[in-house]
Structure 1
Amino acid sequence: MGSLRGLQYALSFHSRSSPSTIYPTTDAHPERESQDTHLLADLQRLHEFGNYLSAGWLQKALEMCLSMHREVQQIFPQIRQAVQRQNSKWMDETLDDTVKLLDVCNALREYMRDIKQYQEKLHLVIHMLNGPIGPWQLGRARIALGSLCELPAKATEPPQNKSRLENCSSVLRRMGGKLAAPCAGGELVEPIHAAMDLTVFVCDLLLVALSFRSRRSLPLPCSGHSTWGGALQALQLKVKEEVDKRRNKGIVCVLLDELFAVESASQSVNDLLKRFLNSKSVPLKEAQDLELRQSVVCLKNCVAELEDGMAFIESQINELFEVIIGGRMALLDALTYS
């Protein structure tokens, strides 16, 4: 598995037209068709990239979400009048959806901190086994790593109450069902609808891919209601197929490629430690020492891959939080002066 460094710019999304020419205040179907064509091309790139449960793919999907939200803010002066003409129900629902997405971003940021702590504990184990390996190092590393290896197994037990991540997933699924309907706000506010729709899908996938404890698959994709809606539906279906395929293979705990690699590598080191200690093979023979050190190097490399991916995803989630706030403020401003 190659390094994830630099993957954040591996997929170059298209250059957008000038905001002043995309969405005039009167209906302009050719421009809307052009926008749909661009959005369709972006979704197709995500579709063709594959590796839907890798950090690299999630980075690209998040970058597309950010691009769409930023574009909405750029064209907002041109669609302000269309926003102001919407009925109060549309405005209330859209503002409510932004609050829900902000809550999801906060839940994801909290979970990213949990993953950081998991990585830090693995670094401690790696440090213990980097120098001379004696009985003390083996015993301490076995205790520390054993508790970490038990995390995924324990996490699969159904909790008494839904976790915050699971609650957020349920909220996103309800939002996705509602957004599947044709945009109630009309054609000129369709970019807002599109940005929300894609964000719901990507955030739901993040909740499934990053969680040790989630047994839930992605929901069936909703019917597409436009050119880009059909492309998003096809992408959702492919991602769902991949998730379900891994579920059927028994990979219940960990779906993200990099997280699964770390879990597998840590389990391999833990198995060696357990075997050596149970057989009282201390001090280790030369072949045993080499086998253990090779496993530790593999774990170290997997942790580095995970850290590279998570660092950029965390940064993107923070950016998404800020850009959603910006969009919400623009809507509130339009409501105030309507």
Structure 2
Amino acid sequence: MSGSSSVFRAAFQGLSYPSVFHNRSSSSTIYPANHDNPKLDAFESHVCEELRRLEECGNYLSADWLRQALDVCLYVHSMVEENFPHIGKNSKWVNEHLEDMVKLLDICNALRESMSDIKQYKVELQLIVHGFQGCGPIGARQLLRARTALGNFNDPSAKAKEASEGKSRLENCSSMLRRMGERLVAPPSDAATASGGAAFLEPIYASKALMVFVCGVLVAAISTKSKRHLPQLCAGQTAWACSLQTLHHKVKEEIEKGRNKGTTCTLLYELKAVDSSSRSLYDLVNKLINSKSVPPNESQALELRQSVQSLRNCISELESGTAPFERQISEIFRVLVSGRMALLDVLSYS
């Protein structure tokens, strides 16, 4: 992550901006300057470029897109400490920001717990898939064990109970993010404030707005609630804020499409694929047992093994897609703690 952090630090040192993600073009969009300070202009231009790339990626509810979005959050947060010595004594705005950092830490903890739930879900399904391994014929006991285990994931009452257990955690996250989004207030911009130090609050403000947005998308993607909403953002009229609003609108449209279907499944593509594949395998096993086709004939055995393989592939895609999340969320937590301590330290000596 130190390499990622250097990307934005380079902008504040007047260095060229290297490519961070794969498949990026070497050219960069030039955004109009809004500040007298070239470092702040460079920051804004780079944030706009990252948001544009996220917008062009599409598939906003995929693990790959969320991974890139979380990386952008880390890039921005990794350099905001550069601005702390310049912010002066904007006590009211800064104090509110410090309070919001505590809320974001709580949200990170809740998201880490949710990621652990997903990991446990994946492990339990892997055990079911493992039970079908072997070259011998599939017997009645094997099918009955699989039906019982899969039934825990596919029975409506069991799913409702599981959803309710994790619902309050994500609901709290969603509520906190919604309130933070509604209360986002641009930093003071008048030159008299803190001897012009207000301009250096803009990167701090951008980092918080981006964090609220990306965490909101992640919560909406992994929630099992049928009503999912992104936090509204009032980020101002700067170039990066307009880019963020455009991206927010497109992601919101994709979430609304899934929400309008009234599904209680998650919207995260890879997790939804696992749920669907698990359901298909459960239905097939149940059909074989109810029809007393045990052991299954050659055609049925082939269909069963194909269904098992499909679930195995979906689990593998979920694992590779979401594995970085836990590390990224932990790193965001660390950066938030470090940033809050550094900000308090600067304020105590200002």
Residue 245 of structure 1 deviates from its aligned partner by 1.0
Secondary structure of 1:163 counterpart: helix
Distance 1:32 1:45 in 2: 20
Cα distance change on mapping 1:161 and 1:129 into 2, 3 Å: closer
Which stretches of structure 1, 4 residues or more, deviate above 6 A after TM superposition? none
Is the Cα contact below 8 Å between 1:104 and 1:168 reproduced in 2? Answer: yes
TM-score normalised by L of structure 2? 0.84
Q: Aligned runs of 1:321-336 on 2, under 5 Å?
A: 321-336=333-348
1:3 matched to which residue of 2?
Answer: none
Cα distance change on mapping 1:124 and 1:157 into 2, 3 Å: closer
Q: Which one-letter code corresponds to 2:187 in the other structure?
A: C
TM-score normalised by L of structure 1? 0.87
Cα distance change on mapping 1:67 and 1:158 into 2, 3 Å: closer
Q: Which one-letter code corresponds to 2:122 in the other structure?
A: Q
Distance 2:275 2:245 in 1: 31
Residue 210 of structure 1 deviates from its aligned partner by 1.4
Moved more, 165-174 or 243-252: 243-252
Q: Aligned runs of 1:171-210 on 2, under 5 Å?
A: 171-179=176-184, 181-184=185-188, 186-210=198-222
Gaps of 5+ in 1: 1-7
Distance 1:302 1:31 in 2: 45
2:58 matched to which residue of 1?
Answer: 50
Sequence identity of aligned pairs in percent?
50
Cα distance change on mapping 1:153 and 1:197 into 2, 3 Å: farther
Distance 1:303 1:270 in 2: 15
Which protein has greater RCO, CA pairs closer than 8 Å, 6+ apart?
1
1:101 matched to which residue of 2?
Answer: 104
Distance 2:235 2:78 in 1: 26
Cα distance change on mapping 1:101 and 1:203 into 2, 3 Å: same
Q: Aligned runs of 1:90-239 on 2, under 5 Å?
A: 90-131=93-134, 132=136, 133-150=138-155, 154-155=159-160, 159=164, 163-179=168-184, 181-184=185-188, 186-213=198-225, 215-222=227-234, 224-239=236-251
2:332 matched to which residue of 1?
Answer: 320
Is the Cα contact below 8 Å between 2:12 and 2:43 reproduced in 1? Answer: no
Q: Which one-letter code corresponds to 1:139 in the other structure?
A: L
Moved more, 142-151 or 40-49: 142-151
Question: For each residue in 1:289-311, what CA deviation from the matched residue of structure 2 results, as whole angstroms up to 9, or x when unmatched?
Answer: 00000000000000011011111
Q: Aligned runs of 1:63-102 on 2, under 5 Å?
A: 63-73=71-81, 75-76=82-83, 79-82=84-87, 84-87=88-91, 89-102=92-105
Question: For each residue in 1:88-130, what CA deviation from the matched residue of structure 2 results, as whole angstroms up to 9, or x when unmatched?
Answer: x223211111110000000000111111110111011101112
Secondary structure of 1:215 counterpart: coil
Cα distance change on mapping 1:62 and 1:293 into 2, 3 Å: same
Gaps of 5+ in 2: 16-34, 190-197
Q: Aligned runs of 1:264-279 on 2, under 5 Å?
A: 264-279=276-291
Question: For each residue in 1:57-115, what CA deviation from the matched residue of structure 2 results, as whole angstroms up to 9, or x when unmatched?
Answer: 00000000000011112x24xx4142x4212x223211111110000000000111111
1:19 matched to which residue of 2?
Answer: 12
Cα distance change on mapping 1:226 and 1:18 into 2, 3 Å: closer
Whether 2:294 is the aligned partner of 1:282: answer yes
Secondary structure of 2:183 counterpart: helix
Question: For each residue in 1:160-208, what CA deviation from the matched residue of structure 2 results, as whole angstroms up to 9, or x when unmatched?
Answer: 99602211211111111222x3223721111111001100110111111
Whether 2:297 is the aligned partner of 1:297: answer no
Distance 2:348 2:214 in 1: 31
CA RMSD of aligned residues (A): 2.6
Cα distance change on mapping 1:151 and 1:110 into 2, 3 Å: farther
Distance 1:44 1:281 in 2: 55
Cα distance change on mapping 1:118 and 1:92 into 2, 3 Å: same
Cα distance change on mapping 1:206 and 1:14 into 2, 3 Å: same
Distance 1:222 1:306 in 2: 33
Distance 1:333 1:151 in 2: 52
Cα distance change on mapping 1:127 and 1:295 into 2, 3 Å: same
